[in-house]
Structure 1
Amino acid sequence: MNDNIDLNYQKANETDSFKVHNDFLNQLLLDTSHEGMEKHYQLFQDSQNKDLKGILGKGFLKRGEAGLNFLREKLKNENDTTKKSNVIHLLGLSGVKKYLSDITPYLDSNSYDLRYKAIIAIGWLGDTDMISILQNHFLTEKELDLKCFLITAMRQIYFRIPAAKDMILPFLYEKLKSESNEQLIAIIVVVLQDLTKIKYGLKEDPISGEISGNIIGSKDKIIKKLNLL
């Protein structure tokens, strides 16, 4: 059986065919034993084929609660940072909120990748009780990119829970007043635009996330309109 899986895995790695990748995933899913899940996990983590890796990763979620509990244990015991970050990503994609307690501690990790994946997963899974946690980590985070992702994670929670706006807006207004970095100002402004439904002059590309427009002008417009000084 394993010889057959290894041969088909080699074939799947050498093609970009969705059918071949999906057929291989379905072959893996037939084995629901712990050994079968371990094999699936290792092949997912080891694959250098981006498309296959994505299908095998998301496909792991088709294993249901047993598969998620397997991933939860891997999160505790996995030593490789990249593999651990992939597990956080999958638990975030699961949509199961109970895994937040396993993910949230990684906001304090020394690893950029683990903090990044934790932020993204919290944005996908978190409720309003996670807003203050994200805000507190914004105050201590040193990496500019991750500070930006902390802001967009709050927006993700707002998209699911509009009432979160009342917790997010005061924080963003306060940060906007003193912020001088244009990348961070731009993120704050576009998130404010989404939350208030008011356009302040910036546009965010829905595909690339690239922001265009007069960043400082938009900041000044908000400060003047709301008399934030």
Structure 2
Amino acid sequence: MTVLQKRYEELKKQNLPDGERIKFVADLGASEEIEYHYKLICTDRDEGMNLNMSGSFYKHDKEGLEFLFTVLDNEKDENSKVFTAYLMAETLSKLRHRDFYLEFCNRLIPVIALLIEINDNLLRQKVIIALGWIGSSNEIDILTKQMLEDKDSLCRAWAASSLMQMSFHGVDKELLQEKTKSCFASVIAAETDLYTCGIMIESAQILFGKKWISSSAVEDVDAEKMEKARKSAVRFLNK
């Protein structure tokens, strides 16, 4: 048992106090114990403890990503495959400054794009979010399709949010505006789930530099403000 493994066992006996846990997670990322780190992330997921064990995985840099690609290549379980791909996208989103960033994105994007057809709603939501982090202009059409056609309201919401996220992650904003404007107009006008509609309006307003609704009105699902914002957004997007 390594020093870090012993330390984790000791922390478990103390119910993983926040301060010590945060320091442990940081030290884990700075260590060479990539496989053990991944194992703890999986345990955290399986036990639903929300300890944010993945928060420092990016510190493993290229070696950590190569390890995850190996895991992904050998993974048959659908749930674990999505989980690993999501972890990789999350990790890559923190390594945009590294010279290997684009190469790794280009390797991962086809895997994530294939997973978009997954039947489980929660897993599909993760795939959509991951695509927003690392997708290129080639994936805009995949996300607009999910925003238009997905049967799950949260998948539609995260597709809208992911299109907006792309503008922060290297995809040309003007191209995004051009390719999504009519689609945003259509989905915002037709969306029946108010929370999802709010996320769509908020995503569009950030992408197009407008101010139709506040984040608090979206979180509170304020129907009156939502409908007023919907009209303003659709009017602008249909121009």
* TM-score of the two chains, using structure 2 as the length reference: 0.75
Deviations 1:110-168 (A, max 9, x none): 22232111111111112222111111233332111111111110011123432222212
Amino acid in the other structure paired with 2:115:
Y
Are 1:82 and 1:113, in contact at CA under 8 Å, matched by a contact in 2?
no
Structure 1 residue 215 and structure 2 residue 226: aligned? yes
Equivalent of residue 36 in structure 2, options 34, 39, 49: 39
Equivalent position of 1:101 in the other structure: 110
Equivalent of residue 110 in structure 1, options 106, 119, 132: 119
Equivalent of residue 83 in structure 2, options 46, 68, 86: 86
- Structure 2's unaligned 5+ residue stretches are 94-100
Identity %: 19
Equivalent position of 2:10 in the other structure: 11
Structure 1 residue 151 and structure 2 residue 147: aligned? no
Which has the higher mean CA deviation after the structures are superposed, 191-200 or 63-72? 191-200
Equivalent position of 2:63 in the other structure: 66
Give 1:27 deviation, angstroms.
5.7
Equivalent position of 2:50 in the other structure: 50
Equivalent position of 1:131 in the other structure: 140
Are 2:128 and 2:162, in contact at CA under 8 Å, matched by a contact in 1?
yes
CA RMSD in angstroms, aligned pairs only: 3.0
**Residues 92 and 198 from structure 1, CA distance in 2 versus in 1: closer, same or farther, beyond 3 angstroms?**
same
Amino acid in the other structure paired with 1:108:
E
**Residues 138 and 9 from structure 1, CA distance in 2 versus in 1: closer, same or farther, beyond 3 angstroms?**
same
Counterpart-to-counterpart distance in 1, 2:8 and 2:124: 31
Are 2:65 and 2:88, in contact at CA under 8 Å, matched by a contact in 1?
yes
Amino acid in the other structure paired with 1:218:
A
Give 1:24 deviation, angstroms.
6.2
- Structure 1's unaligned 5+ residue stretches are none
**Residues 209 and 129 from structure 1, CA distance in 2 versus in 1: closer, same or farther, beyond 3 angstroms?**
farther
Superposition pairs of residues 142-221 of structure 1, within 5 angstroms: 142-160=151-169, 161-163=172-174, 164-200=176-212, 202-205=213-216, 209-212=219-222, 213-221=224-232
Counterpart-to-counterpart distance in 2, 1:28 and 1:39: 10
Are 2:29 and 2:37, in contact at CA under 8 Å, matched by a contact in 1?
yes
Are 1:107 and 1:118, in contact at CA under 8 Å, matched by a contact in 2?
yes
Are 1:141 and 1:147, in contact at CA under 8 Å, matched by a contact in 2?
yes
Are 1:152 and 1:191, in contact at CA under 8 Å, matched by a contact in 2?
yes
The aligned length equals: 218
Which has the higher mean CA deviation after the structures are superposed, 72-81 or 104-113? 72-81
Determine which structure has more spread, i.e. the larger CA radius of gyration.
Answer: 1
Amino acid in the other structure paired with 1:10:
E
Counterpart-to-counterpart distance in 2, 1:226 and 1:9: 54
Counterpart-to-counterpart distance in 1, 2:136 and 2:128: 13
Amino acid in the other structure paired with 2:185:
Y
Give 1:71 deviation, angstroms.
0.8
**Residues 188 and 37 from structure 1, CA distance in 2 versus in 1: closer, same or farther, beyond 3 angstroms?**
closer
Amino acid in the other structure paired with 2:195:
Q
Which has the higher mean CA deviation after the structures are superposed, 87-96 or 128-137? 87-96
Counterpart-to-counterpart distance in 1, 2:26 and 2:193: 45
Counterpart-to-counterpart distance in 2, 1:171 and 1:222: 12
